[in-house]
Structure 1
Amino acid sequence: METALSSTRAIPVHPGLPVVGNTLSYLRDPLAFLRGLQQQYGSERMVRISVGGRLTTLMLKPEETKQVLQENNRNYGRGKSFAILREFLGNGLLTSDGDFWRRQRRLAQPAFHRQKLILLAETMISEAVAWAERLETMDRQKPVNISAATTDVTLRIVTKTLFGSDLGSRSSDLGRALSHLNHVANNAVINPFRLPKWVPTPDNRAFEKARREVDQLIFSIIETRQRTGESHDDLLDMLLRATDDETGEGMSDAQLRDEMVTLFTAGQETTATSMAWTLYLLAQHPDVLARVKAEISTTLGPRDRPSADDLRAMPFLSQVINESLRLYPPAWVMSRLSLGPDRFGEYMIDANQGVLLSPYVLHHDPATWPKPDQFNPDRFAPELMKDKSDRERHPYSFIPFGGGPRLCIGNQFALMEMQALLTVLLHRFDLQSVPGLHIKPQPLITLRPKQAVRVFLR
C-alpha cells in the first residue's frame, strides 16, 4: 500500500546565485521574473524561489491559489511583507489576522452592503460631475496629466464618503501625509536592506512625522463625532455605530483609526491607479472607446448625469474595467505564511513556509487568457466566459480583489466609483492618445504606471 510519504514529490526549486538566490532577478524586474517562472514551471503548478534569504513557494495556477485563499484559508496568515504595511496602516483589515481580523470584518461588513453603497453613489456621481467641470477649464490643446487628475478626484471622493463634508480643508493635509507614508512604505518594499525604523534616517524621520500628522487628524475627527453625536451618511458614522453581534462591543478609537487609514489608503490609491490605466488603454484603443461612449450615450440619453441604476446598466463598461484590472491588477502579488502543513496533490508545504500568490501571473496565463498582453474587453462578454472545452473559466483565474473570506471589503465600492467617474468623463469628453507614449507598469505596493499617464481630452 502506497504511503502518503512515498506519494510526495519535492517542489521544484528555481536555481539562483549563492547567498542571494533569486533576489537580484526579482528586484530587477519582478513582473518579468514571475511570468518567466509561469512559463517554465506552469505544468508543475508551483515553484520555490529564494528572495531576501527566504525560500518562498509561488503558486502558478488558480486551483492552488483557491486552496490557499479559500478552501484552507485558516491555515495561512499574513506574510512577512505585511509587517511593513502594518507599520503604515496599523492593525486594520488588510494587515490583521485570526480572530481579531474576523471580529473587525464582522463589524465593518454592514457598511459595505449594497444598500449602503447606493447611498454613497450620489456622492461619487456629484464629485465626478465637479471633476469633469474642472477638466473643462483646462487647456485642451495640451495633454492632461490624467494620473494627477484621477488622484485628485479619488482623494475628494474617499474623503467625503469616509469622513463626510465636515473634514473641510484638512482633507488635503490628510491626503498629503498618507501619500508620504505610502511613498516610504513603497521604498521599504523594494529595498531588502532597509534599516530598522528606530534608526534616524531621513525616510524614517519623515515616516514618523507623517504618521503623527495622520493620527492627530483622524483621532480629532473621531473625538468630534463622539462628542457631538451627530449622524452622517458616511463610512465613519457606520463604523462608529457598529457593534459585534456576539459581544455587543464596538471598535476602540485605535481600531477605528487603523480601519479608516486602511480604507482611505486602499480606496484612494488603488482606484486612482486603476482609473489611470483604464483611460490610458481607452486612449490607445479608439474602437473600444467608441463602443463605451455609445453605450453611455444610449443609457443616459439627454441627461448629463447618471444615476446609481445607470451605473449597473452598462455591461460593456464593466467589461472594460475588468479587462483593465486583468492587465494591471492593483494588488499584483500577495504573500502568505503557512501556519501548518498543507498538501497540494503530490506536493507538501510544511508549517511556517512563505507562500506567494500573484494575480498578475494568473491574469497573464496564456492557458486561460489567449494573447494575454492584448487589451480585449470582449474576454468578459458572457458568451466568451468559457474556455475551448466549453467549461466556465476558473473563478480564481481573475482575482483583482483577492478571494475567499479576505476578498477586499471595498471591491464593490471601487467598481462603483470607477463606473461613475468613467461614465461622466466619457460622456463629456473624447480621449486621444499622446503619440509615442508607451507606459510600463511599476510594481510597488500597487501596480502603478511608471510615468504620468497623459491623454488629450477633446
Structure 2
Amino acid sequence: METITSPTRPIPVHPGLPLVGNSFEYLRDPLAFLRRLQQQYGHQRMVRISVGGRTTTLMLKPEEAKHVIQENNRNYGRGKSFAILREFLGNGLLTSEGDFWRRQRRLAQPAFHRQKLVVLAETMIDEAVAWVDRLEKSLTDKPVNISAATIDVTLRIVTRTLFGSSLGDQVDGLSSALSNLNHVANNAVINPIRFPRWVPTPDNRAFVDATNRVNNLIFGIINTRRQTSESRDDLLDMLLRATDEETGEGMSDAQLRDEMVTLFTAGHETTATSMAWTLYLLAQHPDVVKRAKTEINATLGQRDRPSTDDLRAMPYLSQIINESMRLYPPAWVMSRLSLGPDRFGDYALEANQGVLISPYVLHHDPASWPDPERFDPDRFAPESGSDRHPYAFLPFGGGPRLCIGNQFALLEMQALLSVLLHRFELRPVLGQKITTQPLITLRPKQAVAIYLA
C-alpha cells in the first residue's frame, strides 16, 4: 500500500470539550448526534469525533463505507470496541480476524447453505405456528406485549435450530446471562474509565457470573454431543461435523463454544428486536398490512402453515422487513481500525485510526432515501432504487464479513410475519410512545404493545 505523506486537505473535526471531546453529545442521544453530524458534514463525506477517550472517523456516505468494508477490507481490522465484545463472545465469527476468521468462516459457511436452511426453516415454521396458537389462546381485550412475545418465540427458534431442543429451564438462564453481558459490554464501550476484571465492580461481578453460566451450559452441551454419534438437523451438529477442506481439521471445543454463543446472541436478540420494530410499524400502517395480507392469503389460501417455498414467494413481505430494518437497523454502528494508511479522494487516513460506519446514518441519508423517516416498503420494490448505491443499505453489513446468518434471519422473520398476519388483524395502542435505545443493538426503549384481533 502506498505511503501517504501529503493529504490535499485534512479530515473535518467536530469541535468538542477539553478532555471529554464529544462524549456528552454522544451519550445524551447517540442517534440524534450522528444524524446532526450527517446533516452538518455530509457534503464533506466524513468527520472526526472523540468519544470515550478515543478519536474516530465517521464515514457518512456509502462509497466510503464500501471502500472500508469491501474494496480495501484487508486494511481494516475490528475496532477497539470489539475487544470488549470478544471478552464474552470469544473468538467467534463476529469478533475474530485474519486467517483465523477466514478458517472459521470456511468451516461454518456450509451450515448456512440454501439446502441446510430449508431444513432449519421447517423448525422456524413449526415454532411460528405454535407461537400464533399460544397468542390466540391468551388473547384478551388488552394489548399484547409484542416485545416479550417476539423474545419468547425467537428464543425457542434459536435454541431448537442451534441445539436441536428447547433446553428447558436452562435456556432462560442462558438468555438472561447474555442479556447481562450485552449491557456490561455497552457500558464498557462508552465509558472511558475501565477497571481490570479482577476489580469487583458491579459490572465486573455481573460479567464473571454471566460468563461462568454461559460456559458451563455450552461446554456441557458440546461435551454431551461429542459423546454420541447421533446425527441431528441442527447447527451444532453441522459445526461439530465440519472440517476444513484445506487441513481436514474440525473445530475445538473452545471454537465451538465461541461460535454457538455468537450465533445464539445474534440469532435471538437481533431477530426479536427487528420483529418488534416491524410489528410496531405495521400496526401504524393498515394500508401496508392490507397489502401484506392479500399477498399471504393468495399464497397460503386456507392453509395455516406456509412452506419454505411459500416464504420465498412473498416479495412484499420481504419489502416490509427490509424497510423496517432500514428505519431501525439492529446493528446500527460498526467500528473498524485502520491497519495501514489509506486514501479517500482528497482525504488521507493514517494507520491505527478508528473508523465508524453507521448503517443507521446511511439508512437515513436523504440523498439515498428521500423523506427518510417515512415507512414505505415500496422503496424495495424491484422496479425502484436501481440507481441507489448498494452500500446505502447495510442491515447485515457487507463485503467478506457480510453476516453469515442473514438468510437465516430473513427466513425466520418471514415465517413469523406470514403466520401472524394470516391469523390476526393488527391495531396500534393509541398514544404509545416508543423511543430507541441504541445499545450493542438498536432496541425499543419501551415495550412495544399492539392489539391483535
Work out the CA distance in 2 between the residues paired with 1:175 and 1:52: 28
Q: Following superposition of structure 1 onto structure 2, how do residues 29-428 of structure 1 map, counting pairs within 5 Å?
A: 29-165=29-165, 167-386=167-386, 392-428=387-423
Work out the CA distance in 2 between the residues paired with 1:229 and 1:220: 16
Q: How far 1:203 moved relative to its partner?
A: 2.4
Work out the CA distance in 1 between the residues paired with 2:243 and 2:168: 28
Gaps of 5+ in 2: none
Gaps of 5+ in 1: 387-391
Work out the CA distance in 2 between the residues paired with 1:174 and 1:29: 30
State the partner residue of 2:19: 19
* SS class of match (1:9): coil
* SS class of match (2:48): strand
Contact kept in structure 1, 2:159 and 2:264, CA below 8 Å:
yes
* SS class of match (1:319): helix
AA partner of residue 61 (structure 2): K
Q: How far 1:207 moved relative to its partner?
A: 1.7
* SS class of match (1:57): strand
Q: How far 1:105 moved relative to its partner?
A: 0.5
Work out the CA distance in 1 between the residues paired with 2:67 and 2:4: 19
RMSD across aligned C-alpha pairs, in angstroms?
1.3
Q: Following superposition of structure 1 onto structure 2, how do residues 438-457 of structure 1 map, counting pairs within 5 Å?
A: 438-457=433-452
Q: How far 1:165 moved relative to its partner?
A: 1.8
* SS class of match (1:42): helix
Q: How far 1:190 moved relative to its partner?
A: 3.9
Q: How far 1:123 moved relative to its partner?
A: 0.1
Q: How far 1:251 moved relative to its partner?
A: 0.5
AA partner of residue 64 (structure 1): E
Work out the CA distance in 1 between the residues paired with 2:306 and 2:4: 59
Q: How far 1:441 moved relative to its partner?
A: 1.0
* SS class of match (1:437): coil
Q: How far 1:5 moved relative to its partner?
A: 5.0
Q: How far 1:196 moved relative to its partner?
A: 2.7
Q: How far 1:109 moved relative to its partner?
A: 0.5
Tell me the TM-score normalised to structure 1 length: 0.96
Contact kept in structure 2, 1:431 and 1:455, CA below 8 Å:
yes
AA partner of residue 178 (structure 2): L
Work out the CA distance in 2 between the residues paired with 1:292 and 1:191: 43
* SS class of match (2:227): helix
* SS class of match (1:250): coil
Q: How far 1:206 moved relative to its partner?
A: 2.1
Q: How far 1:55 moved relative to its partner?
A: 1.6
* Range that drifts further, 345-354 or 188-197: 188-197
Work out the CA distance in 1 between the residues paired with 2:33 and 2:353: 21
Provide the aligned length of Structure 1 versus Structure 2.
451
Tell me the TM-score normalised to structure 2 length: 0.97
Q: How far 1:180 moved relative to its partner?
A: 2.4
Deviations 1:352-390 (A, max 9, x none): 00000000000000001011011011111111113xxxx
Mark the CA change 1:284 to 1:229 in structure 2 (over 3 Å): closer, same or farther.
Answer: same
Deviations 1:87-136 (A, max 9, x none): 12111000111111111111001100111001100000000011001101
* SS class of match (1:382): coil
Work out the CA distance in 2 between the residues paired with 1:433 and 1:352: 48
Mark the CA change 1:187 to 1:19 in structure 2 (over 3 Å): closer, same or farther.
Answer: closer
AA partner of residue 310 (structure 2): D
Contact kept in structure 1, 2:53 and 2:192, CA below 8 Å:
no
Work out the CA distance in 2 between the residues paired with 1:107 and 1:4: 37
Contact kept in structure 2, 1:311 and 1:420, CA below 8 Å:
yes
